[in-house]
Amino acid sequence: MDKIDRKIVNILQKNARASLKDLSKECFISSPAIAARISKLERSGVIKGYQATINLEKIDFHVKAFIQVQLEPHQKKEFYPYVQQIPNVIECNCVTGDFSEVMEVVFPSTTDLDNFINDIQQRFGKTSTQIVFSTSVNHRGVQLSEPTEKE
User: What residues line the site for DNA (CB under 7 A)?
Assistant: 4, 19-21, 28-33, 35-37, 40
- 23 scored as a contact of a second copy (CB under 8 A): no
87 binds a second copy (CB under 8 A): yes
Is 48 a binder of a second copy (CB under 8 A)? yes
Alpha-carbon span 127 to 120, nearest angstrom: 8
Burial class (CB in 10 A: 0-12, 13-18, 19+), 14: exposed
Q: What whole-number distance in Å separates Cα of residue 29 and Cα of residue 78?
A: 49
Choose the one of a second copy, DNA, none that binds residue 30, judging by a C-beta under 5 to 8 angstroms depending on kind.
DNA
Alpha carbons 102 and 98: distance in angstroms, whole number: 11
Shortest spacing between CB 77 and a second copy, in angstroms: 11
Member of 4, 12, 29, 71 binding a second copy (CB under 8 A): 12
